[in-house]
Amino acid sequence: MTARSARLLPAVEQAQRREQDALQRLAEQQRRSVFVQQQLEQLERYRRDYTLSTGGLTVTALLNRQQFVDRIDKAIVQQIQEVERQRRVTEAARLQWLQAHAREKALDSVVARYRTVEEQSKTRQEQAEVDERMQYRRRPAGSA
């Protein structure tokens, strides 16, 4: 009969794979979040730099400039929304990893307990066998 701990190994291995997959998804999502945040910062810098540069502009050029700044502002608003969306997705990925990690650790704990019980049982069985052998040795010759 196979030991309980050995029967659980496929489940443990699957839990480990799921935890690693969740960790990889979390890392990728964190990279996306950082990238989106950097894009927002770049847009804000570009707007700030663009609005600071002024010069002798005609009315038409000023209107074009204002329309362009308005488009940059809209892009910034959209990017802020994307940053927030990515933050939520990252948090969801983090929670999924935490759950997978907890499941994997719980299975590891169960397997460790089963192994401890199995080792204790094996030790008791070996001791019983030794005790039994010692009992036969102690019997005087001819008493059997």
* Residue 128 belongs to domain with CATH number: 1.10.287.1700
Closest CA to 71 of 38, 39, 43: 43
In a domain, 42, yes or no: yes
Range of the domain at 97: 8-134
CA distances from 56 to 46, 51, 59, 63, 65 (A): 20, 14, 10, 13, 12
Asked if residues 94 and 26 have their Cβ atoms less than 8 Å apart, the reply is: yes
Q: Is the pLDDT of residue 140 over 80?
A: no
pLDDT at 141: 58
pLDDT digits (tens, 9 = 90+) for 76-134: 999 999 999 999 999 999 999 999 999 999 999 999 999 999 999 999 998 888 888 88
Query: Does 1 fall in a domain?
Result: no
Does any domain span residue 139?
no
Residue 2: inside a domain: no
Amino acid 99: pLDDT: 97
Confirm whether 13 is domain-assigned.
yes
Whether residue 141 is contained in a domain is answered as no
Q: Mean pLDDT, to the nearest integer, of 21-33? A: 97
For the chain, the average pLDDT equals 90
| Nearest by Cα to 78 from 36, 48, 120, 108 | 36
Which residues are CB-neighbours of 111 under 8 A, at least 6 positions away?
A: 5, 8, 9, 12
pTM for the model stands at 0.74
Q: What residue type is 80 in one-letter code?
A: I
User: Residue 59 corresponds to which tokens in the numbers above?
Assistant: 């009315």
